[in-house]
């Protein structure tokens, strides 16, 4: 496993109380740290990756929680559903216009929770995403952060091919930066991430 997702979920649920809330979950097709088992009234899982959403739905159904999940295979900007909270999971920095996404989120819910990489995190350097992360962090600051917490974890890989497979989708810069680990085993890269309530 690249990182300890159980710990990320634990930190998320300690940071914000999702119980009995209708959650608009943006980026639900990626890691899915938040599930109906958190006691939410309903999760509306939003992602353009319909295959990943289908897998999420099947996983939830297998646990008997299907009534508390709705999947929406569209871009977030097209969604016009109201909720108690909009939750972005490691995806705000990937959006073309994070300022528009946050403005839209504020129109749909009173609370906006964002979990994403921290500016300056070593892990985002190897993912070649430092500019995107820095930009989305500044956008959040302009919107007004009501609560903030930073956490530290690690990305772990058994060997270089496993690490390379993880960063290759990020493009040629990430692949070039990964070369320093060629031939290595037990690769450990520090990763910082932020939780923000807007």
DSSP symbol at 28:
T
Q: Per the CATH hierarchy, to which homologous superfamily does domain 5-154+192-197 belong?
A: Vaccinia Virus protein VP39 (3.40.50.150)
Please state the pTM of the whole predicted model.
Answer: 0.90
Q: Taking residues 52-59, report their average pLDDT.
A: 73
Q: Taking residues 155-161, report their average pLDDT.
A: 96
Residue 72's pLDDT band (cuts 50, 70, 90): confident
% of the chain at pLDDT higher than 70: 92
The residue among 113 and 71 whose pLDDT is bigger is 113
Domain ranges for the chain: 5-154+192-197
Quick one: pLDDT at residue 1? 42
Q: Which two tokens stand for residue 197?
A: 């309530």
Residues 6+ apart with CB under 8 A from 76: 26, 46, 95, 101, 104, 105
The answer, yes or no, to whether residue 167 has pLDDT greater than 60, is yes
Q: Are 23 and 40 in contact (CB under 8 A)?
A: yes
Quick one: pLDDT at residue 16? 97
Whole-number Å distance between alpha carbons of 154 and 177 = 18
Q: Taking residues 113-133, report their average pLDDT.
A: 96
Calculate the alpha carbon distances from 174 to 58, 78, 137, 171 in Å. 33, 31, 21, 6
DSSP symbol at 112:
E
């Amino acid at each position: 496993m690249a990182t300890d997702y159980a710990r990320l979920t634990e930190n998320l649920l300690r940071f914000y109380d999702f119980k009995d809330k209708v959650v608009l979950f943006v980026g639900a097709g990626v890691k899915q740290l938040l599930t109906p088992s958190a006691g939410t009234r309903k999760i509306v899982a939003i992602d353009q990756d319909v295959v990943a959403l289908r897998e999420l739905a099947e996983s939830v159904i297998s646990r008997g929680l299907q009534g508390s999940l709705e999947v929406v295979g569209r871009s977030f900007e097209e969604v016009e559903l109201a909720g108690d909270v909009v939750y972005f999971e490691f995806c705000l920095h990937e959006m073309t216009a994070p300022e528009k996404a946050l403005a839209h989120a504020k129109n749909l819910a009173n609370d906006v929770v964002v979990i994403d990489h921290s500016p300056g995190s070593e892990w985002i350097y190897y993912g070649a995403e430092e500019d995107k992360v820095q930009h989305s962090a500044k956008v959040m600051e302009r919107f007004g952060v009501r609560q903030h917490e930073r956490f530290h974890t690690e990305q772990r890989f058994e060997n270089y091919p496993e690490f390379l497979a993880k960063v290759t989708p990020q493009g040629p810069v990430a692949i070039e930066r990964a070369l320093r680990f060629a031939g290595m085993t037990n690769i450990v890269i520090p990763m910082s991430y932020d939780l923000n309530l807007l």
